[in-house]
Chains A and B, each alone.
Chain A
Amino acid sequence: MIDTKNLIVDDREQGMFRVHRTAMTSDDVFQLERERIFDQCWLYLGHESEVDKPGDYKRRVVNGRPLIFVRDGDGQVRAFLNSCTHRGAMVCREDTGNARVFQCFYHAWTFNTKGEVVAIPDQEGYSPCIDWKERSLRAPARVEGYRGFWFVNFNPDAEDLVTYLAGAAEYIDLIADQAEQGMRVVDGTNLYSTRANWKLLVENSIDGYHALPLHQTYIDYVKSIGGGLKPGGLSVGGGLDLGNGHSVMVSEAPWARPIAHWEPLFGEDAKEEIEQIRAQLVEKYGEERTFRMADQFRNLLIFPNLIINDIAALTIRYINPVAPNYIETTAWQLAPREEEGDRLARRLDSYLTFIGPGGFATPDDVEALESCQKGFETFRELEYSDISRGMGRVSGTTDELQIRSFWRRWHAQLEGRTPGKAITDIESPGLAPAQEGAA
């Protein structure tokens, strides 16, 4: 059995936090994560808008299981294991579509969108003792949604989703409230991969420290088109532990935001419209909350493997660990349902310059993560990575508190310990919003 105790060194007196690199390379750790983290936590399934109409479905893979994410005939969002209860073939064989029934192509057992058996060829050949209800498509133990974001949990005894989300729920509100008629996932999905451990992408997604060195070419580009990154903007803010392993990096946006922060990059034509959207938010939510929604940006981690990046555009990033050294990443763009025409085009344009596997930044993140993973082959000699930055001071935008809070939760769960409280107040007593996320 693997010794999990020394995978993390968390020395608050010395201000030192280290992660053992076998956490990223070991098959044993990977298996343990599947059981003790992914089989216990709420895991992202999809956004309600992806299954807008009765019968709409998407295929998903969650903690290794092929799933069907579907809206049933009565409009209820559901999830099923994509495996025929008869012999196991996948009853849903397309990634997206609309169906009244799922008919297995192997022996034609047929299920409705509530999962119930509706037709069995030659059914009289079966014993009358068979309980056909029991042969329904199997659902994950729990399926719950919050503000349009749907999650599954394979642990029947898990706490409810909202309790699990802890301080992260309020950050989801800040995002969902940007839309008047609800958010929708825009068509077109970034389906990509990285030959690295999943936790490296979690770290990278909430890491402000790497932006300047790694993404200089993006910053140069934004400057060259007159989008000037406001000096000082990125220096305000910091990381927060939101409880239960969720965390966020918050800062003031030095770039334009479709909701609702105008910068010259958007052009003079857009100025009035964006200021109008901002004014509507102020009317509805007040100046302080509007400042948070419109002028701040945030990289939100929902433990363990969902990232919502509300930066220059609004992105859902789902990290699917396939092997210790390989992840499949899926990224979707969210937009308010009411947004169309130039407004929508501006948002999509904002997205493309930075995020995404064809953008000016994400390819270099992928390269960096793959480079780390290769470097970890030296783990016998070079055992630990360092994540100490900012310990013992109020968290700043290039500090790593939000990454440490991920690792602390990860370690507690891996060891089967009861996780501690959100630790923001312990690490950074002076940070004003520190109590927000305290579990």
Chain B
Amino acid sequence: MTATFDTTVTRAAVEDFLYAEAALLDNWQLDEWVTLFTDDAHYVVPTTDLPGGNPRTDLVLIDDNLLRLQSRVKRLNSRRAYREFPWSRTRRFVSNVRITGGDDRSVHVEANFVVYRVRDGVNPYIGRYVYRLVPDGESFKISYRRAELDLESLRPHGTVSIIV
């Protein structure tokens, strides 16, 4: 079946959205960030040894539906997520943004990223994003957000305590 999607969506519009999203995360505006997601959204981070991992059959690092994503935000906003209290500094670089296709609801997007986490040293998370973005007025909602890490392991990072 040929995918029919909104071909009027431009890369520039997608980039604007991704940069704005990155700014929200770097500013720790998580309450605002989590409103970018659709009700049926998923946020997935596969393990480092299986970047193609499927959360239903494989162990992954993160597989959040909206409810768990909201809980993750609530946790990170509390003073009891000790790995992130006080918050680390993060700085995100999103590039090589491409619209790779789409379906009748969303535009499929891929991009490269480096997310630096700075606390007790500097640890970069390097990888590739896969997004499904649902056009929503002048902007988008995220129905799928997947961060595949190029790292061989979470060493010496230790954890994925931030949103990557």
Chain A positions near chain B (C-beta within 8 angstroms):
95-96, 186-195, 214, 216-217, 220-221, 224-225, 326, 328, 332-333, 340, 344-345, 348-349, 351-353, 356-358, 360, 362-364, 366-368, 370
Q: How far is the CA of A96 from the CA of B48 in the complex (A)?
A: 14
Q: How far is the CA of A368 from the CA of B80 in the complex (A)?
A: 12
B67 within 8 A of A: yes
B84 to chain A, nearest CB (A): 8
- B81 and A363: CB pair below 8 A? yes
- B83 and A363: CB pair below 8 A? yes
B150 to chain A, nearest CB (A): 13
A187-B57, A360-B75 known; A193 vs B158 contact (CB < 8 Å): yes
Q: How far is the CA of A352 from the CA of B45 in the complex (A)?
A: 11
- A192 and B80: CB pair below 8 A? no
- A217 and B81: CB pair below 8 A? yes
- Supply 22 A–B pairs (Cβ within 8 Å), ascending by A: A187-B58, A188-B53, A189-B48, A189-B59, A190-B154, A191-B155, A193-B153, A193-B154, A193-B156, A193-B158, A225-B71, A348-B63, A352-B60, A352-B61, A360-B72, A362-B159, A363-B82, A363-B84, A363-B161, A364-B81, A367-B161, A370-B120
- A363 and B159: CB pair below 8 A? yes
Query: How many contacts A-B (CB < 8 Å)?
Result: 126
Q: Which residues of B contact A328 (CB under 8 A)?
A: 153, 155
Q: Which residues of A contact B58 (CB under 8 A)?
A: 186-188, 348
Q: How far is the CA of A328 from the CA of B158 in the complex (A)?
A: 9
A95, A357, A360, A370 interface centre (most CB from chain B within 10 Å): A357
Q: Which residues of B contact A332 (CB under 8 A)?
A: 59
Q: Which residues of A contact B60 (CB under 8 A)?
A: 188, 348, 352
- B82 and A364: CB pair below 8 A? yes
Q: How far is the CA of A353 from the CA of B59 in the complex (A)?
A: 12
Q: How far is the CA of A221 from the CA of B70 in the complex (A)?
A: 10
- B83 and A367: CB pair below 8 A? yes
Kindly report which residue of chain A lies nearest to residue B151, judged by CB atoms.
A191
A188-B53, A353-B68 known; A348 vs B59 contact (CB < 8 Å): yes
- The A-contacting residues of B in range 143-160, CB under 8 angstroms, are 152-160
Task: Mark interface residues in B53-95 (1 if CB within 8 Å of A CB, else 0).
Answer: 1011111111100011001100100101111100000000000
